[in-house]
Amino acid sequence: MFSSIQFSLFWHDLNDSLRGWSFWCHIGWEDIAKQYRRSFLGPVWITLNTAAFVIAFGMIGAQLFSINVQQYLPYFCAGHVFFTFISSLMTEGCATFTAAEAFIKQSRTPKIALALRVVFRNLLMLLHNLPVILLILLWAEALGQVQWLSFLAGLGVTVLAASMVTGLMGIVSARFRDVPMIVTSTMQIAFLITPVMWQPTQLTARAQQLVNWNPLAAFLDVLRAPMLGQQAAAHSWWLVCVCLVALMVFFVAGFVVARRRIAYWV
């Protein structure tokens, strides 16, 4: 059973993290700036690398799957950018606390703020890649079809889920150091079984169940569909909502139990 003191400490940590948004925004920004310091183009390399890969594979993929390139390229571009965003949150979330050992051991830093740091850093990466999607849509004459409100709703629930996932990944990975390798390998497999390069309609009815029960495919759908001028499937939103509820339970329980032990594990 959880004591009232443990719950009180959790809510105190959450409150301090949200009120101290400038702290995790600053260190998240510094993470990006540090990575590209002294480079000629800086973070623009993120955009150029994504654009080069999307165009190179998009042209080939359109022929492999016998789809018109004007339809396939926006589909693959949005899928690649958003799946990369989700995948990076999963893999980098494993280092949420181990990479912040100095903050944890030398100051009373709210633990949840460190998870928000990872989410904010990846949001910046997404913002660097978003122009690639917009330019591809402009080329395909589909930019005016974007459903921005639906996209922002999908991005909001994804960020909420990501904040909890990074926290949970950070806790488990701090305790069991094999977890980051497992997650990295799992995400490589997930890329193949999630409709990033291919479309669910290309599968048999039985194989499509793999997509219908894939949480990553659901989050990808609520992000990508509005960018392509479509509505995300109803079952995607149901799965996203179920995942949010489950994550909320595990997130609260995980932090209540493990919050005070993180400093010893890192």
Three-state SS string over the chain comes to CCCHHHHHHHHHHHHHHHHCHHHHHHHHHHHHHHHCCCCCCCCHHHHHHHHHHHHHHHHHHHHHCCCCHHHHHHHHHHHHHHHHHHHHHHHHHCCCCHHHHHHHHHCCCCHHHHHHHHHHHHHHHHHHHHHHHHHHHHHCCCHHHCCHHHHHHHHHHHHHHHHHHHHHHHHHHHHCCCHHHHHHHHHHHHHHHCCCCCCHHHCCCCCHHHHHCCHHHHHHHHHHHHHCCCCCCHHHHHHHHHHHHHHHHHHHHHHHHHHHHHHHHC
pLDDT band at residue 223 using 50, 70 and 90 as cut-offs: very high
pTM: 0.92
Q: What is the pLDDT of residue 32?
A: 83
10-32: pLDDT as tens digits: 888 888 888 988 988 999 888 88
Q: Which residue has the higher pLDDT, 90 or 105?
A: 90
Give mean pLDDT, residues 131-140.
Answer: 93
Q: Which residue has the higher pLDDT, 92 or 4?
A: 92
Give mean pLDDT, residues 127-134.
Answer: 92
